[in-house]
Amino acid sequence: MTTPLQDRIIRHIKTSGPLPLAEYMHWCMADPKDGYYANQEAIGSKGDFITAPEISQLFGEMIGIWAVEKWQALGSPKSFNLVELGPGKGTLMQDLLRISDAVPDFLQSAHIYMIETSERLVEIQKQTLSAYQNISWQKSIKELPVQPTLIIANEFLDVLPVRQYVKAGAEWREHAVAVDSEDNLVWTLGTGILEKESLPEQSDEEPNGAILEISTIREAFIANTAEQLNKNSGSALFIDYGHTQTGFGDTVQALRAHEYASVLESPGFADLTSHVDFGALAKIAETSGMKVSPIITQGEFLLEKGMLERAGQLGRNQSSEVQESITRQAERLALPEEMGNLFKVLEFGTSENKD
Ligand code: SAH
């Protein structure tokens, strides 16, 4: 079956030549008419994938604890920006704000900014957060009031496009999408070539066909975040799946109805993501003047914030079925063989934060 976007992509390639993977991904995910986030029920059991906040309220609550700690480290300012990038269904923010039951001043001081490009998800977020005032929706973080700022993002970076370069003899050439004689989308090598200076040291030892992924758009988001924090003071927290050091390999994947699919099949209908190179992003944050904390795993982060104690509290006086379900959810989030190790936490901020 061809998708509406597939027809448009094929026509484009026939007139303009192969489409670099990053542009193909951007088109698939962000096209306002036929793109994935404009149309698909992405997140949840009926969607294509499930994210940590949709597994358990414990996740957003632990980020709430992080946010209160950072707000207090900034001197508990009476007015601050609380920003979330790519908030999905708004569940994380809803769970985070539960912290205000214990710390009401935090909520009273917060100006909440939801940065979201999908109109469909903005509507869902508005419903989820209808009990709260002081929330605005924007398409980018460029314009925030100048005041202390906390920025959070979960499974946001992985949806941003990545470029792939394939080793072909002495050159690393950009991976691109072409059309074969039967109108199928197929892989090819494009005309783009990676400059020598952008290659990691070990690249000479890699065999032909080795793949290196670079996401300039993720790097730009980290640089923009750092710019906001430099201007305003504050901290940022990025959680996603990925690796702590730059490496070689193809991590781009397509998910549809909780199953892996081919990246070139059904453009616009499948979720396309790739692993985040946290090592590269930490360097960008550092060169942008940020104090960067060591990258830790999601499991370490959640346990350090007290997830087990909170899980125990939620299960108190509940039936054994409820208690078991809470335990199971906590395990999914934190056990090393589940999400605990694959997901990493990158935290950085301005240095006046007292940890
Ligand atoms: N954080 C949520 C959702 C993750 S899915 C969760 O953990 O459940 C990725 C989210 O990023 C979606 O809300 C998607 O619409 C949004 N998004 C994708 N590209 C974006 C961009 N360039 N700017 C802002 N939001 C974006």
Q: Which tens digit of pLDDT belongs to each residue from 270-291?
A: 999 999 999 999 999 999 999 9
Is 59 touching ligand 1 by the criterion CB < 6 Å?
Answer: no
Residue 355 confidence class, pLDDT cut points 50, 70, 90 = very low
Model pLDDT, residue 46 = 80
Atom 2, ligand 1: residue with shortest CA distance:
88
Distance in angstroms (rounded) separating the CA atoms of residues 263 and 265: 6
Model pLDDT, residue 48 = 79
Is 349 touching ligand 1 by the criterion CB < 6 Å?
Answer: no
The residue-averaged pLDDT of 161-190 equals 96
Atom 17, ligand 1: residue with shortest CA distance:
86
Model pLDDT, residue 45 = 79
Query: Residue 101: is it exposed, middle or buried by C-beta count within 10 angstroms (0-12/13-18/19+)?
Result: exposed
Model pLDDT, residue 113 = 98
- Structural domain boundaries, residue 193: 6-32+161-214
Is 43 touching ligand 1 by the criterion CB < 6 Å?
Answer: yes
User: What CATH code is carried by the domain that includes residue 237?
Assistant: 3.40.50.12710
Quick one: which atom of ligand 1 is closest to the CA of 221?
Answer: 22
- Give the three-state DSSP class for 130: coil
Is 117 touching ligand 1 by the criterion CB < 6 Å?
Answer: yes
% of the chain residues with pLDDT over 70? 99
Interval between CA 297 and ligand 1 midpoint (Å)? 21
Model pLDDT, residue 12 = 96
Let me know whether 322 and 235 are in one domain.
Answer: yes
Q: Outline where the chain has alpha helix (H).
A: 4-16, 21-30, 36-39, 52-55, 57-73, 91-97, 104-109, 119-128, 216-232, 278-287, 298-304, 307-315, 320-334, 341-342
Q: What's the number of domains the chain is made of? A: 2
Closest CA to 62 of 89, 84, 104, 92: 92
Closest CA to 338 of 50, 13, 46: 50
Distance in angstroms (rounded) separating the CA atoms of residues 237 and 166: 32
Let me know whether 19 and 101 are in one domain.
Answer: no
Is 121 touching ligand 1 by the criterion CB < 6 Å?
Answer: yes
* Of 38 and 180, more confident: 180
Let me know whether 13 and 97 are in one domain.
Answer: no
Per-residue tokens: 196: 């020598």
Interval between CA 215 and ligand 1 midpoint (Å)? 16
Is 114 touching ligand 1 by the criterion CB < 6 Å?
Answer: no
- Give the three-state DSSP class for 267: coil
Model pLDDT, residue 354 = 45
Interval between CA 316 and ligand 1 midpoint (Å)? 34
Closest CA to 52 of 247, 245, 253, 241: 241
Q: Is the pLDDT of residue 184 over 80?
A: yes
Let me know whether 95 and 219 are in one domain.
Answer: yes
Quick one: angle between helices 21-30 and 4-16, nearest 10?
Answer: 150
Distance in angstroms (rounded) separating the CA atoms of residues 101 and 36: 36
Is 115 touching ligand 1 by the criterion CB < 6 Å?
Answer: yes
85 located within any domain:
yes
Q: Is the pLDDT of residue 353 over 60?
A: no
Quick one: which atom of ligand 1 is closest to the CA of 155?
Answer: 4
Is 116 touching ligand 1 by the criterion CB < 6 Å?
Answer: yes
Model pLDDT, residue 352 = 64
pTM of the predicted model as reported, rounded to 2 decimal places: 0.95
44 located within any domain:
no
Let me know whether 178 and 309 are in one domain.
Answer: no
From 36, 37, 142, mutation site for ligand 1 pocket: most ligand atoms within 8 A of C-beta: 37
Alpha-carbon distance values, 205 to 106, 177, 193, 219, 304 (Å): 52, 26, 18, 26, 39
Chain segment 74-114, per-residue pLDDT in tens = 999 999 999 999 999 999 999 999 988 899 999 999 999 99
Distance in angstroms (rounded) separating the CA atoms of residues 286 and 226: 9
Let me know whether 111 and 134 are in one domain.
Answer: yes
* Of 44 and 296, more confident: 296
Let me know whether 150 and 94 are in one domain.
Answer: yes
Distance in angstroms (rounded) separating the CA atoms of residues 50 and 45: 7
Model pLDDT, residue 39 = 83
Model pLDDT, residue 158 = 96
User: How does the average pLDDT of the chain come out, rounded?
Assistant: 94
Is 95 touching ligand 1 by the criterion CB < 6 Å?
Answer: no
Let me know whether 228 and 275 are in one domain.
Answer: yes
Atom 13, ligand 1: residue with shortest CA distance:
88
Let me know whether 11 and 127 are in one domain.
Answer: no
Is 106 touching ligand 1 by the criterion CB < 6 Å?
Answer: no
Let me know whether 202 and 222 are in one domain.
Answer: no
Per-residue tokens: 96: 């985070």
Per-residue tokens: 344: 């990493």
83 located within any domain:
yes
Is 155 touching ligand 1 by the criterion CB < 6 Å?
Answer: yes
Distance in angstroms (rounded) separating the CA atoms of residues 23 and 9: 10
Is 37 touching ligand 1 by the criterion CB < 6 Å?
Answer: yes
Chain segment 17-56, per-residue pLDDT in tens = 999 999 999 999 999 899 998 888 878 878 778 999 999 9
Alpha-carbon distance values, 292 to 97, 195, 226, 237, 296 (Å): 25, 28, 11, 10, 11
Quick one: which atom of ligand 1 is closest to the CA of 37?
Answer: 15
Is 159 touching ligand 1 by the criterion CB < 6 Å?
Answer: yes
Strand partners, 165: 174, 212
Quick one: which atom of ligand 1 is closest to the CA of 54?
Answer: 8
Model pLDDT, residue 101 = 86
The DSSP line for 335-346 is -IIIIIHHEEEE
Let me know whether 199 and 127 are in one domain.
Answer: no
Model pLDDT, residue 219 = 97
